Amino acid sequence: MRRRDAQGGRHRARRAAEGDLDFRGTLGVAKDAPVGFAAIRLRFDVDTDAPQDKLDQLLKLTERYCVVYQTLKSGPPIEVKLARG
């Protein structure tokens, strides 16, 4: 993604998400294998002339206001129900 800011500076950013997952658990082929991710990593690669303090602030704000990040990090209560209809 490329953007030009109000001061005319150019910025380019790429993001990537990766994780560790044992598919044996997800596919049900090994009962001892966990289901779900063991670790998740997010990476942001930026090509910008912005000063480091602005990049640090951007990362801090991203962590604070990203709904997906906050949900995964905080692990909210989950409720599962089964009802006959």
Q: How many Å apart are CA 11 and CA 67, to the nearest integer?
A: 24
How many domains, in total, are found in the chain? Answer: 1
This prediction's pTM = 0.68
Write the CATH number for 65.
3.30.300.20
52, part of any domain: yes
What are the tens digits of pLDDT across the range 34-61?
999 999 999 999 998 889 999 999 999 9
85, part of any domain: no
pLDDT category of residue 7 using cuts at 50, 70 and 90: low
24, part of any domain: yes
b or e along 54-72 (b: 16 or more beta carbons within 10 Å of the residue's beta carbon)? eeeeeeeeeeeeeeeeeee
What are the tens digits of pLDDT across the range 27-40?
999 999 999 999 99
Contact between 9 and 49 (Cβ < 8 Å): yes
9, part of any domain: yes
11, part of any domain: yes
Domain that holds residue 31: 2-74
Contact between 78 and 47 (Cβ < 8 Å): no
81, part of any domain: no
